[in-house]
Structure 1
Amino acid sequence: CSTPLLLLLLLVDQRRLSRPLPPRARTPPPVADPAQLPTHTAPDHLSSYASSVRLRRRTTGATYSPRAPAAPPCAEYCSPPPAADPAHPSISGRGSGCSHPPPARLRRRSTAAPRRSESLDPARPSTSGRGSSAGTHPSCPDHLSSYASTVRLQRRITAIPHLFSVARVEMSVSATMGVMKPLLGKLAELAGNEYSRLKGVRKQASFLEKELSAMNAALEKMELMDELDPVARDWRDHVREMSYEIENCIDDFLRKFGGGHAKVGFIRKTALRLKMLGQRHRIADRMEELKVLALEANERRLRYNIDECNPNSSYECNHNSSFVAIDPRMSAIYIEAAGLVGTDGPRKELVSLLTDTEKKLKVVSIVGFGGLGKTTLAKRVYDEIREQFDCTAFVPVSQKPNMTEFMTGLLHRFPKPPKLEIDESSQAQARGMQDIIDDIIKRLKKKRYLIVIDDLWDQSTWNTISRAFREEFPEDAKGSRVIVTTRVEGVAYGACYSRPECIYRMKPLGEQDSKRLFFRRVYGSEDDHPSRFEEISAEILKKCGGLPLAIITIASLLASRPQRIRDEWESIRNSLGTQFAVNPTLDGMRSILNLSYIHLPLQLRASFLHLGFYPADCEIERDDLVRQWLAEGLVNKLHGRDMEVVANNYFNELVNRSLIQPDRTKCGELVSCRVHDMMLDLILSKCEEHNFLRVECNSEDMAREHGWKYKVHRISMNFSGGGAADETASGTIPSSMSHVRSVAHFGGSTYMPPLLHFKYLRVILFKISGEKTTDLTAISQLFQLKYLKVSVTQRIKLPTEIQGLVHLETLDLYCYQLKIPSDIVRLPCLSNLIVPKGTKLPKGIRNMKSLRTLDGFGLRWSLLEDIEGLGELTNLKCLNLVEGDVDILTTSEVVALASSIGMLHDLIYLCIHGTFFDTGDHLSSLSGPFRHIKVLKLCGWVMPGVPKWICGLECLSWLELNIMTCTDEFHALGELPSLVHLSLWLDSIPEDSAVIFSTGLYPVLETFRCLSKYDVTACLAFEAGAMPKLRRLGLQFHKDQWGGATPVGLEHLLSLENISVDITCCSLEVEDK
């Protein structure tokens, strides 16, 4: 009988929730005469706020009347506003009377119980601080008390969305207000149709719209100023932290109430409503506090004339254009700079020092100021002489290195000798330093080695590193060499064992080389520049002091302007210090780099500072950056524009401004970058100034956060100690970090941050090593998580259910083994799914309509229905199916795969890697399946010939095919206008057949590889004018099939630089033809 009784009670509660609540008993104030009410001239948003406060504090309560008539005029129940308080002009003395909405607009639900702090006993005073003694006033009509209590609860329970429903104001994502743009997006979401059932007061809704808009306008002006006075800086910091608090409060609301319960049954829905009532009260109280803070902040803005600040610049980038391409001069300019710092004189001098006949170990130090090109020169010398040594390594050193991790990494750079037992596992980190050094010595024994230690900072670091080189046996000395680059003269002297002749001091560029580098970056040519800029450019170059980094940075800043205006050049010249050319200092170089930041458009600043997430000398993947920016809301949302395109424009703009340096290209596009260490110093100083990001290298750094003035919002950790150090770090998580929204962890530590402690996390980035399984089960509680990338050497443990991660956009996992939760197919926002090679397709993958990237899955163990389901993922841009071993697919599975691929018309990248049997001609029969594809790799799909539809892919730049024999379609491939890389696997080569590459074909091809177990050299012929830009040629065949011939017409390949021939296990390479 308990079940019917429970249903009856819930039904009664449900009916009570649909009616207004009986009012809280309060003693009303005297009713004022309307004629005596003063006239107020305050702005609407302030009067609305004042009237709501008066209503809350002054309305009276009485017996509930279910048939309350319309509300009477304000004079019947509102008291006159209080006298103006000169200490608080923002709240008192500005109201314009009551602005209550009509009762017909109110829909209430609540409980009849009074608050704990209030009493229904008339003789007992209220402790709530919001009214006088409790009781029922005889002169207050029932309908007034009902209306007043209804208004109070309307505001406390369901007005939250409308309190903060601001218009869609387009704001730049600056460093200070990196939170403002995502905050406004969430406010707009709360005001959308999904929350239409929660209606409130419109005038209160406009309050924060006006307040935040006004404050944001002032903040944008302040961002464009070089220096701020203490008052303005304090106001800026206060508004920034307040914005974070408002967003966190909204996140709490969305977490508890945002999902809705449309599919929940009546009983459970009613129970949830009762449970959430108290939570709504608490959130409403917190929002009220934040609202008062916003009002006070805006009042301070007016009081201190914050709006009167004059910005120094208003530089903008062309992010509104459909596409911002990387300036093609950028790659060339870094090559040019490398050529200048490594000209014949310095390069030959160093090569001579390193290649003499001395058999003992020699250490050569390159010393010079940051930005002179020490690393560039060392790399050029290293590349030139490395072939003369048995073992080589080029290793950077961070400013605060963990020596155990560094030496372990150095150990893995050298091959393991046969029959030598050395522990290469992650347990090496737990061993003593001497054990690691002993292993390095064993690997280098009887070897001639060349090692570059780049950017060494102190002598103690070198003392540890050099122990691996000093203790070699004299009889094993074979003329090994070590190059050390450093900024510190004393370190350079100590590293080369006090041999002054082994120290090379970097010199700045001369006048002509500086001018050449400068004008090639700005105009693309040394000679093609207006004469009116000759004099001022000479003055700018003089102030750059011949430092390549300074020259490229300033030149890129000027090149970023669409028009060349002399006034702008003069402004840059005047901003540069006068003493830097004579006495280069770190502060002087930082001021030069700071100019680029000052002139950086506001919408790029937060994205630029986000680079501080990564440690020094780290290769940063372009896709990772773009996805992290999107997850944090650092990219402006432009109407009708793809957000990924806008984010990629940001990346390209940073490259064009030389704020990041190009690193690795693939398929003709830049896929990664690096940040110069001096630029990283600038980034981290700006991050600290704006409380944007904190970097922690050990438990001591973490402990210092206990005294930090503000809450930490982003943290990058590099705990590499392991063991006790990890436990110490775990115990030092300060309370200021509970609001962290992005966390990164790099290094060899097994320490796992307490993810449940960071309930507002949006971004997780882990790149760590260790033998322990990485436990990520806590992520199921991170409601706001949007980006998760974890790269580990062992296993990853995911939660059994992750469907609660409704905002997750990127899941990128690299590990030994992985079991994906089955409910991953229910994640509505998942766009990028990258998993370890060969992972089974999740059952029901056809439901993942939002996917744009699918990478790493294999087909060997996947179901036929899931292979068919791939064709329904029509938003896919990148599909990479990889199998570690041979894939054994049935004919029906091959047909399903071909059919699915043919339906993915928007693919840009397609790779099917493995070995498939019985593939037949299923792909060849497709009719123009891809419109915009750039990369097509069908290595494991054996086809009879080149499919005809491939010859119509005008955007195709990278092509890899496995075909049975030579066909005439080779000539059609030569007409592809964008093809840069071509790899062909030939299963057979008919006798007396030849593939002739005719004149004019393959106009932009740079790399051509032809592979077969038969003799490919006998079937290739190049006519004059064929492949005019070919730089690399690769050939592979079985040693028993080679007849000793060479391809005909190699002399016609005028741009050829490298020929690589792979004859089974033998390899022969010829360079610089």
Structure 2
Amino acid sequence: MAEAAVNFLIGKLTNFLDNEMQFFRDAEDEVRSARGQLEGISASLRVADSLEESDEEVRDWVKQLREIAYVTEDALDEFKLLSAHDHGVGFAGLFCRISCCVKNMKARYRTISQIQNINSRIKSLCDGHQRLRHKFSKAEHGPGSNYSDNTWHEHRGKDCFSDKNELVGIEEQKKQLVAWLVEGTSRPQVISVVGMGGLGKTTLVHEVYQDPEVKKHFMVCTWINFSGSPNIGELLQDIHQQIRGVIRQPIPCGADTMNIYWLKMLIKDLLQEARYLVVLDDTWRIDEWDVVKHALPNNMCSSRIIITTRNYDLASTSCREFEGKVYKMEPLPVEQSWKLFCTKTFQGSSCPSHLEETCEFILKKCEGLPLAIVAIGGVLATKDRHIIGEWELVRHSLDTEIDCNDKLKNLKRVLSLSFNDLPYYLKSCFLHLSLFPKGHRIKCSRLIRLWIAEGFVEKKEGKTLEEVAKDYFVEMLNRSLIEVASKRSDGRVKTCRIHDFLLDIITSRSTDQGFAEIAKEENREWPDKVRRLSIQNTLQTLPRNGSLSQLRSLNIFGVDKSFMNSVLASDMKLLTVLDMQAAPLTRFPAQVADWCYLRYLSFRFTEVSTIPSSIGKLQNLETLDLKHTNVTELPVEILKLQRLRHLLVYCYKNVSYSTFKFGFKALRGIGALQSLQKLCYLEANDENSSRVVRELGMLTQLDRLAILKFRKEDGRDLCLSISKLTRLRVISIASIDDDEIIDLQHLSCPPSFLQRIYLRGRLRALPHWLPSLSSLMKLHLGRSRLKDDPLVSLQNLPNLVHLQLIQVYEGSSLCFKAKTFKKLRTLGLDYFDELKCVEVEKGAMPFLEKLIIQCCKLLKKLPSGIEHLTRLKVLEIFDMPDELVKKLVQGGQDDDFQKVARVPEIYYGYWRDEGWDVQLIERSVQRDVASTQGSSMRSNEFPPCWK
């Protein structure tokens, strides 16, 4: 983490030299010297970070370097805080300015003295760098590994379970992989087995590799272990020697000194006429694969290459190049996890009844990760089964056991490798996840905005910071460090999560490296200087040494009101992030307006109802999140926040069938907020609305615009504004009432990248430009009441995956034509008052997975042709005629039921007593016979399509 901290500081020093040196002429040489020295050692910092765990001398050097980076950052920010202070007007203001001038002079001298001292410490550390340079060089260029733990490579084979009894749940996986190896095309193919560390990729592939059918099928079989970052030359030597051994040819003289080019030629010649199987185990980087692939001949002998990796990018890239297949490893299901756990812990016997609760808790924490189950099972196997206290101790101390128990060191090492391999710009982002409680589902959009506010995201030419942060997020997903917890209907990731054991490891690193303090235990002292603080659940009091004067980020999860108030009363003048989502807050804390470094401020899901005019002092604010608060009006001073990028002020309220949104009153002058990217939800129904709608065209960085209470007369002005918003991806418009027309026909050139459109209100006709939107993925139309069939205009949209139509059409029939809606996956048809017939022609909607039909009182039969929707997984029938529902519930030989008998999930429900009563229709596994039972799934909840 020294690399991240130092690179961040170098950027800060550069900015300081460019913008603040008029206050620091006396220290300019010192600042430039400090920056120069840090730049001189920055090249070695990634190597130093990787050696930190195994070398005490390096660890101490890295720790000092981190501390200096933090101290320097604090000194610069504290001075800027004083120099930027506003002192008022008049005689009192003059007196204040004179007084503050003296204070600032003292602060300048103090800061100059600090920088001189810091510079001296940096020089000392640079001398230390000279002493350590031989270690860095050896680690980076030495044989067998690039800055990685060699002892790990020596014991890599321990990943493979040696005991056959511990191979649980791999038979079907093995069968699939063997089939891919021995069947199929004569061209070489790559089979990539991908997943997070500890899932058993190596174990599975090792079993496949040793299978007699596989050994018999291939002339040459070689197993190459990458293990993080091998020396490519030595790896090619290993491949060459293994092949020579298999075909019984002597190694030619001088082969051990050949360069990479000649080694690749030798290997290619040896394999040119052979049906070969090459296993590349624990492969990490695409550039390493690029070297090896050119050594493998593209013959026509049905050769195969297996790659095990944690990197999904590598898996997909290699398979595209060789027309291969990706096998994604998944955690063990509960039943198989329990079997493996009992095999390891109780030597195959059943779990004693008095230990079941404890063991179930421990197993749940393993989350189906075989390596974790085996490792912890090995620890528990040594415990006395009659002494429950020993087992409970393990249960309550698993977090610390991973760090101190020798039997769990292998688990920690496997999981830590993924972190060690990260580039520096991702390490901070990954450690940042330690701020969230275990089991917490983290919203992707929230995470991206937090990373930007923390300064983790680097600028890239041609991309916004949000786009770069999304790239970071995808890279972490592809490296199997985080996993998708839920997706939206158009395929976007909604929430993510991190495995508990991986979270334990990064939490430990986060604390050890001074990155963050995770406060969830009473009577635990904090470090002298806390930079990031996550307060979770049970904490009631601040520790005695709990100074927060250097705090940059405060994240609160589930604390009580009195403790929260005591925290907010602390001196936090350098605070950058204040995330109080769902905190017990009823008013905007007055002191927040004095924390002028704030970039991210969230009171989401609180009871805050008013925002004071003093918010205009937060000149650095980038995100203001007031979603699901009681705020309906913003002070005009909000327009001073020129750096504001995300303004979220809205809430939902459910009334009967419908979900209503409430936003904030339109502000004249909103065009001044020219950094805005997301604006939700603006209420455009007062005397200022026409002017405000025209000003929206000035917000050229907008990618999401949401407007409520829209009026017909503002349609032309809105179209003019939208035509200027070339970056717009999402637009949401709701009319002032369901009879008000939304007039968007004046838009001649819509933004070409529009991906999602939500329109609620009457339409005379669908916007003429809608069929031209080749990027459109999601379309939600409500209360349109069209006279003409909307499907005609929408059916050829090339990328539409979700279509929701609510009271859109007043006709009696709908027909989905063959070869239309080619990518549609979710379809909702709601409130079609006159609809009597729906037809699905063969070949229409070939990828449809979810169909929702609601509140169509005259529709008494399922769509004809629904049986053609062979990929349909979920059918939901809500508030529909009893005649239709009974056919599905009773089953039997009814035509309607037979059409959907093979759909895995069918739900039906009715609105009763201000809530939905939803049932799952239970059927046999064969799907040919149905029972007449209904299983209640959820109640008092809106169906998904209404949310």
Do Structure 1 and Structure 2 share a fold, with TM-score over 0.5?
yes
Is the contact made by 1:664 and 1:671 (CA closer than 8 Å) also made in structure 2?
A: yes
Query: Residue by residue, what CA displacement relative to the aligned partner does 1:896-949 show, whole Å, maximum 9, x if unpaired?
Result: 4454444433211112246535644620231122210111111x2321222221
* Distance in structure 1 (CA, Å) of the matches to 2:192 and 2:695: 64
606-615 vs 577-586, greater mean Cα deviation: 577-586
What's the offset of the Cα at 1:511?
4.4
- 1:522–1:559 Cα contact (<8 Å) kept: no
Change (3 A) 1:861 1:507: farther
Alignment of 1:432-831 (within 5 A): 509-513=168-172, 515=174, 540-541=202-203, 558=283, 561-564=286-289, 583=378, 586-666=408-488, 667-701=490-524, 704-705=525-526, 708=527, 711-720=529-538, 725=540, 729-730=541-542, 732=543, 734-750=545-561, 751-752=563-564, 753-754=567-568, 756-770=570-584, 773-795=586-608, 798-818=611-631, 820-831=634-645
Q: Tell me, yes or no, if structure 1 residue 1032 matches structure 2 residue 850.
A: yes
The residue matched to 2:523 in structure 1 has which SS? helix
Deviation at 1:836, TM superposition (A): 3.0
Work out the CA distance in 1 between the residues paired with 2:426 and 2:378.
32
Q: Determine whether 1:868 maps to 2:694.
A: yes
Query: What count of residue pairs does the alignment treat as equivalent?
Result: 678
Match of 1:931 in 2: 752
* 2:766 aligned with 1:946: yes
Residues 274-294 of structure 1 show CA distances to partners (whole Å, capped at 9, x for unaligned) of 553232222222222222222
* Cα distance in 2, alignment partners of residues 664 and 802 from structure 1: 35
Aligned pairs for 1:1046-1057 (under 5 A) are: 1046-1057=862-873
Cα gap change, 1:738 to 1:591, in 2 (>3 Å): same
Secondary structure of residue in 2 paired with 1:825: helix
Secondary structure, aligned partner of 1:764: strand
Q: Give the counterpart letter for 2:123 in structure 1.
A: L
* Equivalent residue for 1:244, pick from 61, 70, 87: 70
* Mapped partners of 2:176, 2:580: distance in 1: 39
CA displacement, residues 490-549 of structure 1 (integer Å, 9 cap, x when unaligned): xxxxxxxxxxxxxxxx975344445479999999x9998559999xx9993179999xxx
Look up the match of 1:1059. Answer: 875
The answer for the alignment partner of 1:906 in structure 2 is 727
Take 2:201 and 2:591, find their aligned partners in 1: how far apart are those partners? 58
SS state at 1:1044 partner: coil
- Change over 3 Å in CA distance of 1:311–1:971 after alignment to 2: farther
TM-score, length of structure 2 as denominator length: 0.64
Contact 1:224/1:314 (8 A) holds in 2:
no
Per-residue CA distance 1:220-247 (angstroms, 9 max, x = gap): 2212337342222111111101111101
User: Distance in 2 between the 1:875 and 1:683 partners?
Assistant: 35
**Residues 698-751 of structure 1: CA deviation (Å, up to 9, x unaligned):** 4323xx22xx4x622111111446xxx3xxx14x36255321211111015223
Q: Distance in 1 between matches of 2:201 and 2:711?
A: 72
CA distance, structure 2, for counterparts of residue 986 and residue 531 of structure 1: 48
Contact 2:712 2:743 in 1 (8 A): no
Which among 98, 114, 117 is matched to residue 289 of structure 1?
117
3-state secondary structure, aligned to 1:943: coil
Supply the distance in 1 between the matched residues of 2:109 and 2:809 (Cα, whole angstroms).
Answer: 76
Q: Which residue of 2 aligns with 1:1009?
A: 828
Q: Is the 8 A contact 1:756 1:782 kept in 2?
A: no
In 1, Cα distance between equivalents of 2:450 and 2:491: 23
What is the aligned partner in structure 1 of residue 129 from structure 2?
301
Please give the alpha-carbon distance, in whole angstroms, between the structure 1 residues aligned to 2:833 and 2:880: 11
Per the alignment, do residues 977 and 307 of structure 1 end up closer, same or farther by CA in structure 2, a change over 3 Å counting?
same
1:320-340 CA distance string (max 9 Å, x none): xxxxxxxxxxxxxxxxxxxxx
1:73-125 C-alpha deviation (Å, 9 max, x unpaired): xxxxxxxxxxxxxxxxxxxxxxxxxxxxxxxxxxxxxxxxxxxxxxxxxxxxx
Deviations 1:667-689 (Å, cap 9, x if unpaired)? 22112101111111111122123
Decide which moves more: 234-243 or 307-316.
307-316
Match of 1:1016, SS state, is coil
- Look up the match of 2:676: 851
Q: 1:920 to 1:737 in 2, by over 3 A?
A: closer
Q: Which residue of 1 aligns with 2:82?
A: 256
1:280 aligns with 2:108: yes
Distance 1:517 1:796, change over 3 A: farther
Change (3 A) 1:192 1:1034: same
* Cα pair 1:997 1:1026 within 8 Å, conserved: yes
Which structure ranks higher in relative contact order (CA pairs < 8 Å, sequence separation ≥ 6)? 1
Gap change, CA 1:615 and 1:571, over 3 Å in 2: closer
> Quick check: 1:857–1:880 contact (8 Å CA) kept in 2?
yes
Larger Rg: 1
AA in 2 matched with 1:621: K
Select the residue among 624, 638, 647 that pairs with 1:833.
Answer: 647
Going from structure 1 to structure 2, the CA distance change for 1:903 and 1:683 (only over 3 Å counts) comes to same
Q: Is the 8 A contact 2:676 2:702 kept in 1?
A: yes
Q: Distance in 2 between matches of 1:533 and 1:997?
A: 39
Unaligned runs of 5+ in 2: 149-160, 209-224, 229-279, 294-305, 311-370, 380-406, 652-661, 889-899, 906-947
Equivalent residue number for residue 982 of structure 1: 803
Q: Could you tell me whether the CA contact under 8 Å between 2:773 and 2:797 is conserved in 1?
A: yes
Whole-Å separation in 2 of the counterparts to 1:738 and 1:518? 57
| 1:780–1:802 CA contact under 8 A, matched in 2 | yes
Shift of 1:208: 1.2
Checking the alignment, whether the CA contact within 8 Å between 2:602 and 2:626 is kept in structure 1 is yes
Residue identity in the other structure for 2:441: E
Could you tell me whether the CA contact under 8 Å between 2:700 and 2:724 is conserved in 1?
Answer: yes
Residue 581 of structure 1: how far off its partner (Å): 11
Say if 2:50 is the partner of 1:229. Answer: no
Whole-Å Cα distance in 2 between the matches of residues 678 and 521 of structure 1?
Answer: 33
Change (3 A) 1:866 1:628: same
Cα distance in structure 1, aligned partners of 2:476 and 2:630: 37
Structure 1 residue 1009 displacement after superposition:
1.5
Change over 3 Å in CA distance of 1:959–1:800 after alignment to 2? same
Deviations 1:856-881 (A, max 9, x none): 34334573233332232121111233
